Amino acid sequence: MYHQPVLKNRRTLLERAEKFVSDVYFTDCNLRGRLYGDSRPLDSLSSFLSLERITFAEASKQNFEPYKVGSTFGPTWWTCWFKVTLTVPESWRGKEVHLRWESDGEAMVWRDGQPVQGLTKEGEKTSYILSDCLEDAEPHSLTLYVETACNGLFGAGQGSAIAAPDPDRMFSVQRAELVVFNREVRELLTDLETLVDTVKVRPPARLRTRAECWRPLCGPQELGEGEQRGFQALFAANEMVNLCDPFDAGSFPGARALARGFFGQKNGQSQHTVHAMGHCHIDTAWLWPYEETIRKCGRSWVTTIRLMEKNPDFVFTCSQAQQFQWVKSWYPGLFSQIQHFVKKGQFVPVGGTWVEMDGNLPSGESMVRQFLQGQRFFSQEFGLHCKEFWLPDTFGYSAQLPQIMQGCGISNFLTQKLSWNLVNTFPHNTFFWEGLDGSRVLTHFPPGNSYEMKGKIEDLVKTVRNNKDKGRANHSAALFGFGDGGGGPTQLMLDRLDRVKDTDGLPKVQMSSPDKLFSQLRADSALLCTWAGELFLELHNGTYTTQAQIKRGNRECEALLHDAEVACCLALGRDRTFQYPDQKLQELWRLLLLNQFHDVIPGSCIEMVVDDALKYYEDIRRDGGAVLQEACGALGSRGTAAGVFNSLPWERHEVIQTAGGAGGPALALVRVPSVGLSLIEETQPATPVSVTVQADGTVLMENGILRTVVNKDGTLASLCLIDANREAISDGCHGNQFVMFDDVPLYWDAWDVMDYHLQTRKPQQEVVQPVCVARPGGLRGSVRFSLRVGERSSVTQEVVMDATCPYVRFHTEVTWAESHKFLKVEFPVRVHSPNATYEIQFGHAQRPTHMNTSWDWARFEVWAHKWSDLSEHNFGVALLNDCKYGCSVRKNTMTLSLLRAAKAPDANADMGTHHFTYAVMPHAGSFQDAAVIRCAYNLNFPLRLMGCSPDTVPWSAFSVSSEAVVLETIKQAEGRKGAFVVRLYESHGSSVTATLSTRLPVKEAWICDLLEKQDPTQPALITTGGVTLTFRPFQIVSLLLIL
């Protein structure tokens, strides 16, 4: 049946088939040119411009003016609503009829007041199907609305996608018409394209490198010339071209049969199985504001629902409870359709978290709340529990995540971001990830290294070939659908996958779900390897520092909500009539969790998002502050005597600033019991602080624990731990040394600091105001100085020493106006150790201080939470901070990263005035024994002033017998009045037994998981001493206390 002669000219045969389906060449006579049949203009097209994102109800009432195709509208971030009236000719009976719409921006079609489909050229969605097969009974005249956002899938970056948005971009509609769509032509095109792609599969020896992936596929050397199967595909395609007359539909079935013959040749049983899952990664805010994300969800998901109606096997995975919550409020009709398809198992909520949060910066408790809010939402709205954590696009993963996942009923984890490593190739795709405490989760990195594949042959082949666990794992995920800015899958992607489900020579592919994939992987996991500790991303390390106000907002609000919950529980524990503000606290937590999204807290977002995020932090500060004040008021019986509240689980003996008397604020040394309160009673320290200006202009400060000498330029000449008689500052060096670096990354400006920035270190020594005494000593001594840093910036600092306090604080104000510079502060210390310790969620991790291997030097900039420490046996130095995350310890220099000056995607990132505090703490013994952890908590959770009745005696609600165990959280149990959840963790890395004592009237105590589900097999025994618990190193234990 084949035509002859077919000469051995592979190149011309292949290009002939390509030209036959080309949308550029020969469309006058090729198959592509026949995709659309007759067309007809709309009856009318009119438009209305809105600055705000308004509802359909509001928009449809507006006055629409005639719009001419091709004319412009805008600018950026506005919305243009179009009113479309159309009449389908009766002569199109039996045809498939589309509204063909090509415009800039992202659009949503509304019909009868409901959103029905998204339209985006970038997302390859330019048709709205009016009828699959026009019948006389169907309405032929219609009015539709098209809501067009003046932004693309990736916002409106000026020049490049990640540049700051162009505020003046204008948009247009290029095509708006009715067309007859030739479905059979579409099917043939897909057959031919798939065959051509099969021909072009490269042999394994030519696996492309990462760099090559950016080059287009072309040139005969790229073709799979050694593959028999490739030639079979080539000849099938060639013969289809011979058989098919684009102008004679009667020739199509014969051509299609040829394709079916090829695709129908079955695979062997040993083939790797690709689990295809539709997906649509929607960044909750990034190059567009939160508000636009709501519409992105609407557009992407309604389109997905349309695909589900036509493709009953199509499965779509969808994460982030917050986005579902938005759709529920803004598009209730769509939300109930989603609920319907969730029930059918096609629309699959995944991940279990409120948003896809950053994997490094949120506190341990925040991470728990991500799951708590997420899983509760999914359970309430869909009656299901996510079994996998889903975080494909985050910049590294804390070593504490496996335990947190397991505590939230999750044993599986999917991501792919480590494929972005700049230095080392991560060795596994499917493996067990073991966390800090030994918890293990089954982890899968889709080997195609993407969460937005297009269902093409190349995607499938890449998935199989890249798999680094060949022979160990015979199943992999391939996530398909436009992503990042939304969009999602298309019918074409589904059609491609459908053709090659089981085709000899190609990977097997099946539509699947995370549950199916992980069940298969787990069932056959005997040969899988284990990776212990953090999954560090060797890229985007600037995100620990960029947008310092967001970082500060996060840290402060985490502390504020912690304190508010503790105070509310104590108030309720003392007085059962106290109204626990659970709704308000949930609302505030959700705002905080929202800002932890993986392009917001890392600072990799545009200025509009920063503004929104900072506003949300203001909301939390205001409303959370009011909740705390109300609870403290109740707790102190609304008395007026000056009292102080300690939310932390240990007694504190600190100097605080009080409201004072007529003379204004004053200082007081107070002693407050753990999780409790006391009146402010003046006590005097055994050793007051002394501050002495020395002959050479340096200042000596001493408090009986520490003695430090501050140079005229604010650096520390000496820092001595008096009892141990140990100098902390390295010989010939100065502590508190500000240093500036050039900070020009290769591309990802807000994201990346590159290793070579270390070569540009410049100490900052230009003194504006030499050191002078600010406070003369007594309860508190301090000195103040100012430096000029960089070209246009300055630092003013107060170096503070308090009586009884084992660390020196640096209250810092920076006026920052640099461009592509990185400000850090260094403490070269007299400590020698191959490893430094960094606080992470519910624990700490060690990282090397040397650069032996590529894995070591790739971690030239790392993250920590409230402290880092460098210790040798019996002595060490800790660096504490109240809102910083970037840091490093190289050799013996401890560095805290302070401010960056990236220009994209926010051209004004970090410009302005910043306030932050860090502290240095030399200590004897280990950091555990020296209470570094407690000191870092104290720095971050200030004692809070409150009113008490004058007869108040010091009162402690909770205390813990072991110094290793931190009582982190006290909150009301979700949805259970009269029950508290308390969460404790082992912080030293030791196995211990600890007793939790309480003054609250606890009747029952149960061990529960992080979702607060009580374990009926584990009642906790309450004795007169309290509840006794045992801990493994870094174990998190939650208790349900019933009052």
Residues marked as catalytic: 393
Nearest-angstrom CA–CA distance, 433 and 412: 10
- Provide the mask over 233-272, with x wherever binding to Zn ion is found by CB under 5 A and - wherever it is not: ----------------------------------------
Of 13 and 355, which has the nearer Cβ to Zn ion?
355
Nearer to Zn ion, 450 or 987 (CB): 450
Q: Are 224 and 457 a contacting pair, CB within 8 Å? A: no
Q: What tokens appear for 696 in the block?
A: 């050479």
Computed on alpha carbons and rounded to an integer, the radius of gyration of the chain in Å comes to 32
Quote the CA–CA distance of 832 and 828 in Å, as a whole number: 11
- Residue 283 vs 538, nearer CB to Zn ion: 283
The minimum distance between CB 283 and Zn ion, in angstroms, equals: 4
Cis check: omega of the bond before 1019, within 30 degrees of 0: no
Length of the chain: 1043
Min. distance of Cβ 598 from Zn ion in angstroms?
Answer: 6
Q: Which stretch binds Zn ion (CB under 5 A): 172-180, 393-401, 620-628, 941-949?
A: 393-401
Smallest gap from Cβ 394 to Zn ion, in A, equals 8
Closest separation in Å from C-beta 450 to Zn ion: 12
Q: How far is the CB of 543 from Zn ion (least distance, A)?
A: 12
Q: Distances from the Cα of 95 to the Cαs of 31, 39, 43, 91, 247, in angstroms?
A: 18, 12, 20, 9, 17
Round to whole Å and give the CA distance between 499 and 479.
17
The answer to whether the beta carbons of residues 428 and 396 sit under 8 Å apart is no
Residue 625, token pair as written in the block: 């502050």
Q: Determine phi and psi for 481, rounding to 5 degrees.
A: 135, 145
Least spacing, CB of residue 379 vs Zn ion, in Å: 25
Residue with Cβ nearer Zn ion (188 or 355): 355
Which of 227, 283, 495, 818: binder of Zn ion (CB under 5 A)?
A: 283
Residue 758 DSSP symbol: G
503 vs 604, which CB is nearer to Zn ion?
Answer: 604
* 3-state secondary structure labels for all residues of 213-270: HHCCCCCHHHCCCCCHHHHHHHHHHHHHHHHCCCCCHHHHHHHHHHHHHHHCCCCCCC
Cβ contacts of 341 within 8 Å, gap of 6 or more: 305, 308, 347
Helices 183-199, 457-466: axis angle to 10 degrees equals 40
In the bound state with Zn ion, the residue whose beta carbon lies nearer, of 178 and 282, is 282
Which one, of 405, 411, 449, lies nearest residue 432 by Cα? 411
Pick between residue 292 and residue 869 the one whose CB is nearest to Zn ion: 292
Closest to Zn ion by CB, 96 vs 283, is 283
Closest CB to Zn ion among 390 and 650? 390
H or E stretch covering 895: strand 893-900
Distance between CA atoms of 437 and 398, rounded to whole angstroms? Answer: 12
Distance, CA of 866 to CA of 554 (rounded, Å): 13
- Least distance in angstroms from the C-beta of 215 to Zn ion: 25
- The piece of 160-168, 388-396, 703-711, 881-889 that touches Zn ion (CB under 5 A) is 388-396
Q: If residue 11 lies in a helix (H) or strand (E), which one and from where to where?
A: helix 10-20
Shortest distance, position 599 Cβ to Zn ion, whole Å: 6
Handedness of CA 1012, 1013, 1015, 1021 (dihedral sign): positive
Minimum Å gap between C-beta 939 and Zn ion is 32
Question: Which residue, 407 or 514, has its beta carbon nearer to Zn ion?
Answer: 514
Token digits of residue 620: 């939390």
H helices present in 46-149, as ranges: 56-60
Give 324's contacts (C-beta < 8 A, 6+ positions apart). 318, 335, 338, 349, 377, 378, 381
Query: Would you call 1021 helix, strand, or coil by DSSP?
Result: coil
Beta strands in 631-755 (DSSP E): 641-646, 652-661, 664-672, 676-679, 689-693, 699-702, 706-710, 716-721, 726-727, 737-742
**Distance, CA of 353 to CA of 389 (rounded, Å):** 8
Choices 283-291, 724-732, 940-948, 949-957; region in contact with Zn ion by CB under 5 A: 283-291
Residue nearest to Zn ion (CB): 393
The residues, ordered by sequence, that sit 6+ positions from 359 with a Cβ below 8 Å of its Cβ are 391, 394, 395, 396, 397, 398, 401, 535, 598
Least spacing, CB of residue 279 vs Zn ion, in Å: 12
- Size of site (CB under 5 A) for Zn ion: 2
Strands 430-434 and 412-414: unpaired
Instruction: Let me know: does 713 contact 762? Beta carbons within 8 Å.
Output: no
Among the listed residues 396, 410, 403, 304, the one whose alpha carbon sits nearest the alpha carbon of residue 351: 410
* CB closer to Zn ion out of 283 and 869: 283
User: Nearer Cβ to Zn ion, position 20 or 390?
Assistant: 390
CB of 401 to Zn ion, least distance (A): 17
Least distance in angstroms from the C-beta of 597 to Zn ion: 8
In whole angstroms, the minimum distance from the beta carbon of 483 to Zn ion comes to 8
* Pick 82 or 395: Cβ nearer Zn ion: 395
Query: Cα separations (Å) of 772 from 99, 784, 795, 798?
Result: 75, 5, 15, 10
Handedness of CA 57, 58, 61, 63 (dihedral sign): negative
358 binds Zn ion (CB under 5 A): no
- Binding segment for Zn ion (CB under 5 A), chosen from 292-300, 385-393, 405-413, 443-451, is 385-393
SS3 528: coil
Could you tell me which of 491, 625, 505, 499 has the C-alpha nearest to residue 560? 625
393 binds Zn ion (CB under 5 A): yes
Within positions 564 to 603, which residues make up the interface with Zn ion, using CB under 5 A?
A: none
* Contacts to Zn ion by CB under 5 A: 283, 393
